[in-house]
Protein backbone atom coordinates (compact mmCIF):
# COMPACT_ATOMS: atom_id res chain seq x y z
CA UNK A 1 0.00 0.00 0.00
CA UNK A 2 2.81 2.42 0.85
CA UNK A 3 5.35 1.32 -1.76
CA UNK A 4 3.37 2.66 -4.73
CA UNK A 5 2.78 6.19 -3.38
CA UNK A 6 6.36 6.34 -2.12
CA UNK A 7 7.75 5.46 -5.54
CA UNK A 8 5.55 8.13 -7.10
CA UNK A 9 6.81 10.66 -4.57
CA UNK A 10 10.41 9.80 -5.34
CA UNK A 11 9.68 10.08 -9.06
CA UNK A 12 8.20 13.54 -8.56
CA UNK A 13 11.16 14.66 -6.48
CA UNK A 14 13.61 13.37 -9.05
CA UNK A 15 11.77 14.88 -11.99
CA UNK A 16 14.18 17.00 -13.94
CA UNK A 17 16.91 14.42 -14.35
CA UNK A 18 15.61 14.13 -17.93
CA UNK A 19 15.08 17.12 -20.15
CA UNK A 20 11.65 17.34 -21.73
CA UNK A 21 11.50 16.58 -25.41
CA UNK A 22 14.07 14.71 -27.41
CA UNK A 23 17.70 15.25 -28.15
CA UNK A 24 18.55 17.55 -31.01
CA UNK A 25 18.57 15.70 -34.30
CA UNK A 26 22.03 15.46 -35.74
CA UNK A 27 20.78 14.47 -39.17
CA UNK A 28 23.67 14.00 -41.54
CA UNK A 29 26.03 16.15 -39.51
CA UNK A 30 29.32 14.33 -38.99
CA UNK A 31 29.72 14.35 -35.21
CA UNK A 32 32.32 12.18 -33.44
CA UNK A 33 31.04 8.89 -32.01
CA UNK A 34 31.42 10.10 -28.42
CA UNK A 35 29.36 13.20 -29.15
CA UNK A 36 26.65 11.16 -30.87
CA UNK A 37 26.52 8.81 -27.88
CA UNK A 38 26.29 11.68 -25.39
CA UNK A 39 23.61 13.39 -27.47
CA UNK A 40 21.59 10.19 -27.69
CA UNK A 41 21.72 9.86 -23.90
CA UNK A 42 19.62 12.99 -23.55
CA UNK A 43 16.59 10.99 -24.60
CA UNK A 44 17.00 8.45 -21.79
CA UNK A 45 16.81 8.56 -18.02
CA UNK A 46 20.49 9.01 -17.50
CA UNK A 47 22.01 9.94 -14.17
CA UNK A 48 25.08 12.04 -13.47
CA UNK A 49 27.41 9.06 -13.40
CA UNK A 50 26.26 7.71 -16.78
CA UNK A 51 26.51 11.08 -18.48
CA UNK A 52 29.94 11.71 -16.94
CA UNK A 53 31.18 8.46 -18.49
CA UNK A 54 30.12 9.61 -21.96
CA UNK A 55 31.40 13.20 -21.90
CA UNK A 56 35.17 13.78 -21.74
CA UNK A 57 36.25 15.99 -18.85
CA UNK A 58 32.91 15.94 -17.08
CA UNK A 59 33.76 13.04 -14.81
CA UNK A 60 36.83 14.89 -13.52
CA UNK A 61 34.74 17.98 -12.84
CA UNK A 62 32.18 15.97 -10.84
CA UNK A 63 34.97 14.28 -8.87
CA UNK A 64 36.45 17.67 -8.00
CA UNK A 65 33.05 18.84 -6.78
CA UNK A 66 32.64 15.71 -4.66
CA UNK A 67 36.15 16.12 -3.21
CA UNK A 68 35.49 19.76 -2.36
CA UNK A 69 32.25 18.86 -0.59
CA UNK A 70 33.96 15.96 1.17
CA UNK A 71 36.80 18.17 2.40
CA UNK A 72 34.27 20.71 3.69
CA UNK A 73 32.35 18.00 5.55
CA UNK A 74 35.58 16.64 7.06
CA UNK A 75 36.80 20.02 8.28
CA UNK A 76 33.44 20.85 9.83
CA UNK A 77 33.31 17.48 11.58
CA UNK A 78 36.92 17.61 12.77
CA UNK A 79 36.44 21.09 14.27
CA UNK A 80 32.83 20.88 15.43
CA UNK A 81 33.10 17.51 17.17
CA UNK A 82 35.61 18.59 19.84
CA UNK A 83 33.96 22.02 20.05
CA UNK A 84 30.70 20.30 21.05
CA UNK A 85 32.34 19.61 24.41
CA UNK A 86 31.04 23.03 25.44
CA UNK A 87 27.55 21.54 25.25
CA UNK A 88 28.78 18.53 27.24
CA UNK A 89 29.91 20.80 30.06
CA UNK A 90 26.40 22.24 30.25
CA UNK A 91 24.34 19.10 29.65
CA UNK A 92 26.51 16.40 31.27
CA UNK A 93 29.31 18.15 33.20
CA UNK A 94 30.25 14.97 35.07
CA UNK A 95 30.83 13.16 31.75
CA UNK A 96 32.39 16.02 29.79
CA UNK A 97 35.93 14.68 30.18
CA UNK A 98 35.00 11.20 28.95
CA UNK A 99 33.00 12.60 26.06
CA UNK A 100 35.90 14.89 25.06
CA UNK A 101 38.29 11.93 25.01
CA UNK A 102 35.90 9.98 22.78
CA UNK A 103 35.51 12.99 20.49
CA UNK A 104 39.27 13.37 20.12
CA UNK A 105 39.66 9.67 19.39
CA UNK A 106 36.98 9.93 16.71
CA UNK A 107 38.89 12.84 15.17
CA UNK A 108 41.72 10.42 14.24
CA UNK A 109 39.86 8.47 11.51
CA UNK A 110 38.30 11.71 10.32
CA UNK A 111 41.71 13.36 9.95
CA UNK A 112 42.91 10.30 8.06
CA UNK A 113 39.94 10.57 5.74
CA UNK A 114 40.67 14.28 5.23
CA UNK A 115 44.28 13.49 4.40
CA UNK A 116 43.19 10.81 1.93
CA UNK A 117 40.78 13.22 0.27
CA UNK A 118 43.47 15.81 -0.23
CA UNK A 119 46.55 13.77 -1.07
CA UNK A 120 45.85 10.10 -1.86
CA UNK A 121 44.51 8.55 -5.09
CA UNK A 122 41.72 6.91 -3.12
CA UNK A 123 40.43 10.39 -2.34
CA UNK A 124 40.01 10.99 -6.04
CA UNK A 125 38.45 7.62 -6.75
CA UNK A 126 36.05 7.48 -3.81
CA UNK A 127 35.41 10.97 -2.36
CA UNK A 128 31.77 10.16 -1.52
CA UNK A 129 32.79 7.05 0.42
CA UNK A 130 35.34 8.93 2.51
CA UNK A 131 32.87 11.71 3.31
CA UNK A 132 30.29 9.08 4.25
CA UNK A 133 32.86 7.38 6.53
CA UNK A 134 33.43 10.64 8.42
CA UNK A 135 29.70 11.21 8.92
CA UNK A 136 29.23 7.59 9.97
CA UNK A 137 31.89 8.01 12.68
CA UNK A 138 30.10 11.12 13.91
CA UNK A 139 26.77 9.28 14.09
CA UNK A 140 28.22 6.26 15.85
CA UNK A 141 29.84 8.49 18.47
CA UNK A 142 26.71 10.55 19.11
CA UNK A 143 24.51 7.42 19.22
CA UNK A 144 26.70 6.15 22.05
CA UNK A 145 26.53 9.50 23.85
CA UNK A 146 22.73 9.60 23.64
CA UNK A 147 22.55 6.40 25.70
CA UNK A 148 25.10 7.75 28.19
CA UNK A 149 23.64 11.20 28.85
CA UNK A 150 20.99 11.78 31.50
CA UNK A 151 19.29 14.32 29.24
CA UNK A 152 19.91 13.34 25.57
CA UNK A 153 18.03 16.19 23.92
CA UNK A 154 21.20 18.25 23.30
CA UNK A 155 23.06 15.35 21.77
CA UNK A 156 19.96 14.36 19.83
CA UNK A 157 20.16 17.74 18.11
CA UNK A 158 23.73 16.98 17.04
CA UNK A 159 22.60 13.51 15.94
CA UNK A 160 20.36 15.07 13.29
CA UNK A 161 22.85 17.71 12.09
CA UNK A 162 25.05 15.18 10.27
CA UNK A 163 22.02 13.79 8.43
CA UNK A 164 20.92 17.26 7.39
CA UNK A 165 24.48 18.04 6.29
CA UNK A 166 24.61 14.93 4.13
CA UNK A 167 21.32 15.79 2.42
CA UNK A 168 22.24 19.42 1.79
CA UNK A 169 26.03 19.48 1.29
CA UNK A 170 27.32 16.10 0.18
CA UNK A 171 27.88 15.99 -3.59
CA UNK A 172 26.95 12.37 -4.19
CA UNK A 173 24.04 10.19 -5.11
CA UNK A 174 21.04 10.18 -2.74
CA UNK A 175 21.84 6.61 -1.74
CA UNK A 176 24.72 7.91 0.40
CA UNK A 177 22.33 9.97 2.52
CA UNK A 178 19.97 6.99 2.71
CA UNK A 179 22.93 4.86 3.82
CA UNK A 180 23.84 7.41 6.50
CA UNK A 181 20.27 7.33 7.75
CA UNK A 182 20.49 3.55 7.96
CA UNK A 183 23.83 3.72 9.81
CA UNK A 184 22.39 6.25 12.26
CA UNK A 185 19.40 4.07 13.13
CA UNK A 186 21.65 1.01 13.36
CA UNK A 187 24.17 2.77 15.63
CA UNK A 188 21.36 3.97 17.87
CA UNK A 189 19.87 0.47 18.00
CA UNK A 190 23.21 -1.12 18.89
CA UNK A 191 23.82 1.46 21.65
CA UNK A 192 20.38 0.80 23.10
CA UNK A 193 21.04 -2.95 23.09
CA UNK A 194 24.43 -2.47 24.75
CA UNK A 195 22.97 -0.13 27.38
CA UNK A 196 19.36 -1.22 27.92
CA UNK A 197 17.09 0.91 30.04
CA UNK A 198 19.17 4.07 29.72
CA UNK A 199 16.52 5.84 27.65
CA UNK A 200 13.08 6.54 29.06
CA UNK A 201 9.88 6.22 27.06
CA UNK A 202 9.83 10.00 26.58
CA UNK A 203 13.42 9.88 25.35
CA UNK A 204 12.56 7.11 22.89
CA UNK A 205 9.67 9.14 21.51
CA UNK A 206 11.90 12.21 21.15
CA UNK A 207 14.65 10.21 19.48
CA UNK A 208 12.19 8.62 17.07
CA UNK A 209 10.55 11.92 16.15
CA UNK A 210 13.81 13.86 15.79
CA UNK A 211 15.67 11.18 13.88
CA UNK A 212 12.66 10.18 11.78
CA UNK A 213 11.96 13.76 10.75
CA UNK A 214 15.62 14.41 9.93
CA UNK A 215 15.84 11.18 7.94
CA UNK A 216 12.81 11.99 5.78
CA UNK A 217 13.77 15.62 5.18
CA UNK A 218 17.41 14.83 4.39
CA UNK A 219 16.61 12.04 1.95
CA UNK A 220 13.92 14.05 0.17
CA UNK A 221 16.15 17.13 0.04
CA UNK A 222 19.00 15.10 -1.41
CA UNK A 223 16.71 13.52 -3.99
CA UNK A 224 15.47 16.91 -5.11
CA UNK A 225 18.92 18.50 -5.11
CA UNK A 226 20.28 15.58 -7.11
CA UNK A 227 17.45 15.96 -9.63
CA UNK A 228 18.18 19.68 -10.01
CA UNK A 229 21.87 18.93 -10.50
CA UNK A 230 20.94 16.41 -13.16
CA UNK A 231 18.73 18.91 -14.90
CA UNK A 232 21.40 21.60 -14.82
CA UNK A 233 23.99 19.19 -16.16
CA UNK A 234 21.75 17.86 -18.90
CA UNK A 235 20.85 21.38 -19.95
CA UNK A 236 24.52 22.24 -20.14
CA UNK A 237 25.29 19.08 -22.12
CA UNK A 238 22.44 19.79 -24.50
CA UNK A 239 23.65 23.34 -25.06
CA UNK A 240 27.21 22.12 -25.67
CA UNK A 241 25.96 19.57 -28.19
CA UNK A 242 23.89 22.24 -29.92
CA UNK A 243 26.94 24.49 -30.07
CA UNK A 244 29.01 21.69 -31.56
CA UNK A 245 26.29 20.87 -34.05
CA UNK A 246 25.97 24.54 -34.97
CA UNK A 247 29.73 24.77 -35.42
CA UNK A 248 29.73 21.75 -37.73
CA UNK A 249 26.83 23.18 -39.73
CA UNK A 250 28.56 26.54 -40.02
CA UNK A 251 31.72 24.83 -41.22
CA UNK A 252 29.73 22.90 -43.78
CA UNK A 253 27.89 26.03 -44.85
CA UNK A 254 31.17 27.90 -45.23
CA UNK A 255 32.55 25.06 -47.32
CA UNK A 256 29.42 24.85 -49.47
CA UNK A 257 29.46 28.59 -50.04
CA UNK A 258 32.85 28.16 -51.75
CA UNK A 259 32.18 24.84 -53.48
CA UNK A 260 30.43 23.90 -56.69
CA UNK A 261 27.85 21.23 -55.75
CA UNK A 262 28.06 19.33 -59.06
CA UNK A 263 31.82 18.91 -59.42
CA UNK A 264 33.10 19.56 -55.92
CA UNK A 265 35.45 22.20 -57.32
CA UNK A 266 35.75 25.75 -56.06
CA UNK A 267 32.95 28.02 -57.22
CA UNK A 268 33.12 31.47 -58.79
CA UNK A 269 33.02 33.20 -55.41
CA UNK A 270 36.11 31.41 -54.17
CA UNK A 271 37.85 31.79 -57.54
CA UNK A 272 37.46 35.55 -57.48
CA UNK A 273 38.80 35.77 -53.92
CA UNK A 274 41.78 33.48 -54.62
CA UNK A 275 42.60 35.28 -57.89
CA UNK A 276 42.72 38.65 -56.16
CA UNK A 277 44.92 37.20 -53.42
CA UNK A 278 47.30 35.54 -55.88
CA UNK A 279 47.67 38.71 -57.99
CA UNK A 280 48.27 40.83 -54.89
CA UNK A 281 50.98 38.44 -53.69
CA UNK A 282 52.57 38.44 -57.16
CA UNK A 283 52.80 42.24 -57.16
CA UNK A 284 54.13 42.41 -53.60
CA UNK A 285 56.75 39.69 -54.06
CA UNK A 286 57.48 40.32 -57.75
CA UNK A 287 56.47 36.76 -58.70
CA UNK A 288 54.25 35.37 -61.46
CA UNK A 289 50.78 33.87 -61.59
CA UNK A 290 49.28 31.77 -64.40
CA UNK A 291 45.69 31.12 -65.41
CA UNK A 292 44.17 28.40 -67.62
CA UNK A 293 40.57 28.82 -68.81
CA UNK A 294 38.84 25.94 -70.59
CA UNK A 295 35.54 24.90 -72.13
CA UNK A 296 34.25 21.48 -73.16
CA UNK A 297 33.90 21.54 -76.94
CA UNK A 298 30.36 21.14 -78.30
CA UNK A 299 28.92 20.81 -74.82
CA UNK A 300 25.41 21.53 -76.10
CA UNK A 301 25.75 18.62 -78.49
CA UNK A 302 26.78 16.39 -75.58
CA UNK A 303 23.73 17.46 -73.62
CA UNK A 304 21.47 16.87 -76.61
CA UNK A 305 22.86 13.38 -77.22
CA UNK A 306 23.31 12.14 -73.63
CA UNK A 307 20.89 14.34 -71.78
CA UNK A 308 21.74 16.58 -68.89
CA UNK A 309 22.85 13.64 -66.71
CA UNK A 310 25.39 12.79 -69.41
CA UNK A 311 26.53 16.41 -69.57
CA UNK A 312 26.89 16.49 -65.80
CA UNK A 313 28.97 13.31 -65.90
CA UNK A 314 31.23 14.80 -68.56
CA UNK A 315 31.76 17.84 -66.33
CA UNK A 316 32.59 15.64 -63.37
CA UNK A 317 35.06 13.61 -65.43
CA UNK A 318 36.85 16.72 -66.65
CA UNK A 319 36.83 18.20 -63.14
CA UNK A 320 38.41 15.02 -61.80
CA UNK A 321 41.09 15.16 -64.47
CA UNK A 322 41.95 18.75 -63.55
CA UNK A 323 42.06 17.96 -59.85
CA UNK A 324 44.44 15.05 -60.43
CA UNK A 325 46.85 16.98 -62.65
CA UNK A 326 47.31 20.27 -60.80
CA UNK A 327 49.98 20.86 -58.17
CA UNK A 328 49.33 21.34 -54.50
CA UNK A 329 48.57 25.02 -54.05
CA UNK A 330 46.87 25.40 -57.44
CA UNK A 331 43.14 26.03 -57.53
CA UNK A 332 40.62 24.38 -59.85
CA UNK A 333 37.21 26.06 -60.14
CA UNK A 334 34.01 25.89 -62.11
CA UNK A 335 33.18 29.40 -63.21
CA UNK A 336 29.81 28.53 -64.65
CA UNK A 337 28.22 26.19 -67.20
CA UNK A 338 31.00 24.14 -68.82
CA UNK A 339 33.67 26.77 -68.17
CA UNK A 340 36.41 25.63 -65.81
CA UNK A 341 39.63 27.32 -64.74
CA UNK A 342 42.97 26.63 -63.09
CA UNK A 343 44.78 29.24 -61.00
CA UNK A 344 48.52 28.62 -60.78
CA UNK A 345 50.33 30.92 -58.33
CA UNK A 346 54.07 31.00 -59.04
CA UNK A 347 53.73 29.47 -62.53
CA UNK A 348 54.97 31.25 -65.64
CA UNK A 349 53.52 30.98 -69.14
CA UNK A 350 55.55 27.92 -70.11
CA UNK A 351 54.33 25.97 -67.08
CA UNK A 352 50.73 26.99 -67.76
CA UNK A 353 50.96 26.01 -71.46
CA UNK A 354 52.49 22.65 -70.52
CA UNK A 355 49.61 21.90 -68.17
CA UNK A 356 47.03 23.03 -70.73
CA UNK A 357 48.46 20.75 -73.42
CA UNK A 358 48.50 17.80 -71.03
CA UNK A 359 44.89 18.43 -70.08
CA UNK A 360 43.85 18.70 -73.72
CA UNK A 361 45.48 15.38 -74.63
CA UNK A 362 44.23 13.45 -71.61
CA UNK A 363 40.68 14.80 -71.89
CA UNK A 364 40.34 13.02 -75.23
CA UNK A 365 40.94 9.73 -73.38
CA UNK A 366 37.96 10.27 -71.06
CA UNK A 367 35.13 7.90 -71.99
CA UNK A 368 32.18 8.11 -69.57
CA UNK A 369 29.53 5.40 -69.82
CA UNK A 370 27.64 5.78 -73.11
CA UNK A 371 30.24 8.10 -74.66
CA UNK A 372 32.47 7.45 -77.65
CA UNK A 373 36.23 7.76 -77.43
CA UNK A 374 37.33 11.25 -78.36
CA UNK A 375 33.91 12.73 -77.82
CA UNK A 376 35.16 14.93 -74.98
CA UNK A 377 37.59 17.61 -76.14
CA UNK A 378 38.77 20.81 -74.53
CA UNK A 379 39.57 24.28 -75.74
CA UNK A 380 41.95 26.09 -73.41
CA UNK A 381 43.23 29.63 -73.06
CA UNK A 382 46.40 30.45 -71.18
CA UNK A 383 47.75 33.68 -69.73
CA UNK A 384 50.27 34.70 -67.11
CA UNK A 385 51.42 37.92 -65.50
CA UNK A 386 54.10 38.93 -63.09
CA UNK A 387 55.11 41.79 -60.85
CA UNK A 388 53.30 45.06 -61.49
CA UNK A 389 51.35 43.51 -64.38
CA UNK A 390 49.47 41.01 -62.19
CA UNK A 391 45.93 42.33 -61.95
CA UNK A 392 42.85 40.05 -61.92
CA UNK A 393 40.79 41.75 -64.64
CA UNK A 394 43.68 42.06 -67.10
CA UNK A 395 44.84 38.49 -66.46
CA UNK A 396 41.37 37.02 -66.95
CA UNK A 397 40.81 39.17 -70.03
CA UNK A 398 43.99 37.88 -71.68
CA UNK A 399 43.17 34.26 -70.80
CA UNK A 400 39.64 34.67 -72.14
CA UNK A 401 41.03 36.12 -75.37
CA UNK A 402 43.26 33.09 -75.81
CA UNK A 403 40.33 30.77 -75.07
CA UNK A 404 38.34 32.49 -77.81
CA UNK A 405 41.19 31.88 -80.25
CA UNK A 406 41.36 28.19 -79.27
CA UNK A 407 37.61 27.75 -79.78
CA UNK A 408 37.94 28.80 -83.41
CA UNK A 409 39.49 25.42 -84.23
CA UNK A 410 38.42 23.53 -81.07
CA UNK A 411 40.54 20.95 -79.25
CA UNK A 412 43.36 23.48 -79.02
CA UNK A 413 45.39 25.56 -76.60
CA UNK A 414 45.51 29.31 -77.07
CA UNK A 415 48.56 31.07 -75.66
CA UNK A 416 50.30 34.41 -76.26
CA UNK A 417 53.02 34.29 -78.88
CA UNK A 418 56.49 34.89 -77.66
CA UNK A 419 58.92 36.87 -79.73
CA UNK A 420 61.92 34.71 -80.67
CA UNK A 421 65.09 35.48 -78.83
CA UNK A 422 67.49 37.60 -80.87
CA UNK A 423 70.37 35.73 -82.51
CA UNK A 424 73.73 37.23 -81.50
CA UNK A 425 75.76 38.58 -84.45
CA UNK A 426 79.28 37.28 -84.97
CA UNK A 427 82.04 39.63 -84.04
What is the spatial distance between Cα 55 and Cα 61, in angstroms, rounded to a whole number?
11
In a domain, 356, yes or no: yes
10 Å CB burial of residue 22 (0-12, 13-18, 19+) is exposed
Q: Which domain holds residue 377?
A: 268-414
- Taking residue 71's Cβ as centre, other Cβ atoms within 10 Å add up to 18
Q: Does residue 135 contact residue 174 with C-beta atoms inside 8 Å?
A: no
| pLDDT tens, residue order, the chain (427 aa) | 445 554 554 554 445 443 333 333 433 444 444 444 444 444 444 555 566 655 667 778 878 888 888 899 889 999 998 998 888 888 888 889 999 999 999 999 999 999 999 899 998 888 989 999 999 999 999 999 999 888 788 888 888 988 998 888 877 789 999 999 999 999 999 999 999 888 888 888 988 998 999 999 999 999 998 888 888 878 877 888 888 888 888 877 776 677 888 998 999 999 999 999 999 999 999 999 999 999 999 999 999 999 999 999 999 999 999 999 998 889 999 998 999 999 999 999 999 999 999 999 999 999 999 899 989 999 999 999 998 999 999 999 999 999 999 999 999 999 997 644 444 545 5
Which of residues 215, 246, 277 is at a domain's end?
A: 246
In a domain, 327, yes or no: yes
Q: Does residue 44 contact residue 80 with C-beta atoms inside 8 Å?
A: no
Q: How far is CA 303 from the centre of its chain?
A: 47
In a domain, 254, yes or no: no
In a domain, 11, yes or no: yes
In a domain, 180, yes or no: yes
Q: Are residues 298 and 214 in the same domain?
A: no
What is the spatial distance between Cα 408 and Cα 403, in angstroms, rounded to a whole number?
9
Q: Are residues 133 and 274 in the same domain?
A: no
Q: Are residues 218 and 291 in the same domain?
A: no
CATH of the domain at 381: 3.30.70.270
10 Å CB burial of residue 34 (0-12, 13-18, 19+) is exposed
Residues pairing with 334 in the sheet: 340
Q: Are residues 364 and 334 in the same domain?
A: yes
- Report the SS3 class of residue 333: strand
Q: Among candidates 55, 43, 52, which has minimal Cα distance to 18?
A: 43
Q: What is the pLDDT of residue 29?
A: 42
In a domain, 427, yes or no: no
Q: Are residues 239 and 272 in the same domain?
A: no
Q: What is the pLDDT of residue 49?
A: 59
Q: Are residues 153 and 238 in the same domain?
A: yes
DSSP single-letter state for residue 425: P
Q: Are residues 237 and 310 in the same domain?
A: no
Q: Are residues 91 and 35 in the same domain?
A: yes
In a domain, 225, yes or no: yes
Q: Are residues 276 and 177 in the same domain?
A: no
Q: Are residues 56 and 198 in the same domain?
A: yes
DSSP single-letter state for residue 327: P
Q: What is the pLDDT of residue 393?
A: 95
Q: Are residues 169 and 315 in the same domain?
A: no
Q: Are residues 143 and 181 in the same domain?
A: yes
Q: What is the pLDDT of residue 384?
A: 95
In a domain, 31, yes or no: yes
For 293: left if phi > 0, alpha if psi spans -120 to 50, otherwise beta; the answer is: beta
Number of domains, the chain? 2
Amino acid sequence: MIAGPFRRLVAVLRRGDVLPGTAPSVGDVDLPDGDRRATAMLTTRSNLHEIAQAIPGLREELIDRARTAGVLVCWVAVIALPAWTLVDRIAVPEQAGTFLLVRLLCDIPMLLALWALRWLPVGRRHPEGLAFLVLAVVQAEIAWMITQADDPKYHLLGFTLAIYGSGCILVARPRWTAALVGVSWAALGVSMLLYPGRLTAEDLVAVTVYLGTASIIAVLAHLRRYALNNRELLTRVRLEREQQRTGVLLTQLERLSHEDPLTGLANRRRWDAELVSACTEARQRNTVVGVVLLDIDHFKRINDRHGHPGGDEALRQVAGLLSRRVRAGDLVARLGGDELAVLMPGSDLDRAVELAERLRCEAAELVPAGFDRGEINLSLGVASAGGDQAYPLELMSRADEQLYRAKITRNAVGAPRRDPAPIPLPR
